[in-house]
A and B are shown apart, each in its own frame.
Chain A
Amino acid sequence: MVEWTEFERTTIQDIFSKMNYDVVGQQSLARCLIVYPWTQRYFGNFGNLYNAAAIMGNPMVAAHGRVVLHGLDKAVKNMDNIKAAYAELSVLHSEKLHVDPDNFRLLGDCLTVVVAAQLGAAFTPEVQAAFQKFLAVVISSLQRQYH
């Protein structure tokens, strides 16, 4: 059972309530595919991923980025039991999608960079700590059903 401070809860709710899911979703997934190109292995049917410009302009990347971000909503709404809330998603990523769990961390790092760029100075070290703790819990929950 993860313990959250008031500050952490407020920070997470605040960040996600103000977030532009379309922009942040697209930016984060695109950055992940550009900075860590081996993650492209899961998107063989996404068409043109040949260079950064193509990835940034790819509509399937944008659409899927939005899907992934909305997946985080589940965790934002169930902060006291993310593990249970993510059981099905974990099975999906392990059994059906066969995603290397290290990729969750890579996408998480890209999401952190994008949110940092959006929030600027408001993304203080304390806010960053809360955000990364949240992502760590999500990632751990996503990995639980791998065997």
Chain B
Amino acid sequence: MSLTAKDRDVVKSFWGKISSKADAIGQEALGRMLAVYPQTKIYFPQWSDYSLGSAKVKKHGKNVMAAITDAVGKMDDLIGGLSSLSNLHAKVHLDPVNFKILTHNILVTLAVNFPADFTAEVHVAVDKFLAALSAALADKYRLTHHSGASRASANRGTSNDKAKVSDAINKISNNRKGFFFMFFSRSI
């Protein structure tokens, strides 16, 4: 479900209204998630206090919300903009079902704190944005098809890889003007 120009405008405009409270919203959304969906605690096994007011929840909630606010400015290319965060979430094996769960708790937090501004139109635009963001966050999952493989050994050739190979071949063919090398480089 792609974001229309109107969706982007609505999200940007609403985010302008809430940005001064972003830290608190992140904290509350995370606190709600941990309370209402206790299975999400498994991703934070070192924490001792999962309550809304705890220091860890406050800090992590702030980080998450900062990244989401950052993504508001990257709506034209969420997949590209969230690439390294996607790798991070894949590395920690975060089940992508949890993106929906946190999304729901962000929406509830927005409704609680901005009841007049969080209209149905804002609700649908923000939900679409967070769904697109979640898809971008899951984009780098399942790049390798066997467990235990490192990120570096991805068996999918990217256009970057192809360019590097092509460059190397060109360098060889420029140094050795033999017919064989020129023929080989053109076939890339």
Contact = CB atoms under 8 A, between A and B. Distances in A.
- A associates with B: yes
Interface in A82-130: 109, 112-114, 116-121, 123, 125-126, 128-129
Interface residues on A, range: 20 to 34
A109 B107 CA distance: 10
Contact of A132 (B34, B36, B111, B124): B36
A123 B35 contact: no
Nearest to B103: A109
B120 A34 contact: yes
A31 interface: yes
Contact of B35 (A30, A112, A113, A129): A129
A125 B34 CA distance: 9
Contact of A56 (B34, B112, B120, B124): B120
B121 interface: yes
A55 B112 CA distance: 23
B115 A120 contact: yes
A36 B31 CA distance: 26
Contacts, number: 55
A35 interface: yes
Interface in B80-101: none
A112 B118 CA distance: 13
B120 A125 contact: no
A123 B28 CA distance: 12
B31 A114 contact: no
Interface string B109-145: 0011101001011011001000000000000000000
Given A117-B115, A125-B52, A35 B31 contact: no
B120 A128 contact: no
Interface string B45-58: 00000001000000
Contacts of B104: 109, 112
B108 interface: yes
Interface string B24-53: 000000011011100000000000000010
A34 B122 CA distance: 10
Interface in A26-49: 30-31, 34-35
Given A113-B108, A113-B111, A34 B35 contact: no
A135 to B, nearest CB: 11
A112 B120 CA distance: 13
Contact of A125 (B32, B113, B121): B32
B121 A34 contact: yes
A41 B108 CA distance: 26
A52 interface: yes
A74 B30 CA distance: 32
A5 B36 CA distance: 15
Contact of B124 (A35, A118, A119, A126): A35
Interface of B: 31-32, 34-36, 52, 104, 107-108, 111-113, 115, 118, 120-121, 123-124, 127
9 contacts: A112-B108, A113-B108, A113-B123, A120-B113, A121-B112, A125-B31, A125-B34, A126-B35, A132-B36
Please give me the 7 A-B residue pairs with the lowest Cβ-Cβ distance, nearest first.
A125-B35, A117-B115, A116-B111, A117-B111, A34-B120, A35-B124, A129-B36
